[in-house]
Amino acid sequence: MKANPRRRKLQVQRVEKLSGLHSRLDGFLRYITRELQLADNSIDAYRRDMEHFFQWLGNRSVERLHVDSLADYIVWLEQRQLAPASRARHIVSLRIFFRYLQLEGVLLDNPAELLGSPKLWERMPQVLTPGMVVELLRAPEENSDKLWLRDRAILEFFYATGCRCAELVNLKLQDIHPAEGYCLCTGKGNKQRIVPLGKRAIAAFALWMKHEREVVLKRRKEGRNSHFQVLGWDTDESKMKVEVPWAFLSFKGYKMRREAMWNLIKKYAFRIGAPTWTSPHTLRHSFATHMLVGGADLRQVQEMLGHATIATTQIYTHVDMTRLKSIHAKCHPRG
């Protein structure tokens, strides 16, 4: 008889605790969205990081955490076998979250600022050989793939521009300028950059536009008409007009998802026997590496990739030592 009230009291406290944490998380997400204006992908990453932190936090009070306690959190992340890069991002998320709590008057100090980031070993980017890239670009076939022209155009754009997957998904028709030979990519932080397009990418995009895109849009329109008829709504042509700005569309005529584009690369990589680690980012790495091997300037590659600092781009110079040796032999007095 006496145990029941105690259990109810603890349960109520637990509910209040979770409610407070969710409230702070919602406020934090609004802060990084409106004040910091982070990209959607970054916001999703911070949300996941904070959910991990709240899972570790349990019944602890945020106001009473010290740097020693937060160090235990980093150990907890390591025990979950998170990579050093992932743990480093969790620390950044924690610093920004505590900074938000300072602005809200919840905390006076930010103990997360005292946390050191885990040692990040420099990982060499994995790239495909030029021959393997050619095989991959030719992998979509008319007889076996529903939208083979679209798929070829996507593959060509990945390799021609070095775009990230999210950048290609969000690419719009108005961003592509075939006559001038370039496209406008919107990267992290909504920063825009101009990236040249090769003749093969332009030709592949033209075929997709001419032979498949209108068929896809027609399929979308028929699907909407059928749905509206079931609901008893008016399907008058003037009321059905919908602008579809995206450059690449799904089979049903809607904006492609990142996962769908990722799976597309995996599908064709498996078909040609490419390494299992092949992904959209592999084509980005291959683009940068092959550009440098061909003699491109590091600064130019940095601009095309949209890197904020050249230090990020410099990792590609370590991939091909042959080029570095030839430059040394050509330019050094005793080369």
**Which residues form the catalytic set?**
164, 188, 281, 284, 307, 316
Cα–Cα dist 86/92, whole Å: 10
- How many other C-beta atoms are found inside a 10 Å radius of the C-beta of residue 13? 11
Cα–Cα dist 157/177, whole Å: 13
Q: Which position has the token pair 């495909």?
A: 128
Q: Which position has the token pair 């980017």?
A: 125
Sheet holding 176-177, edge to edge: 176-177, 182-186, 192-196
Cα–Cα dist 33/96, whole Å: 12
Select from 310, 153, 321 the least CA-distant residue to 246. Answer: 153
Residue 66 to residues 78, 88, 99, 118, 140: CA-CA distances in angstroms?
A: 19, 18, 14, 18, 55
Cα–Cα dist 282/265, whole Å: 10
- Determine contact, residues 128/85, Cβ cutoff 8 Å: no
CB-neighbour burial class of residue 251 (10 A; exposed 0-12, middle 13-18, buried 19+): middle
Cα–Cα dist 244/319, whole Å: 40
- Calculated CA dihedral for residues 69, 71, 75, 78, nearest 10 degrees: 130
- Where does residue 216 fall: left (phi above 0), alpha (psi -120 to 50 degrees), or beta otherwise? alpha
Strand partners, 183: 176, 195
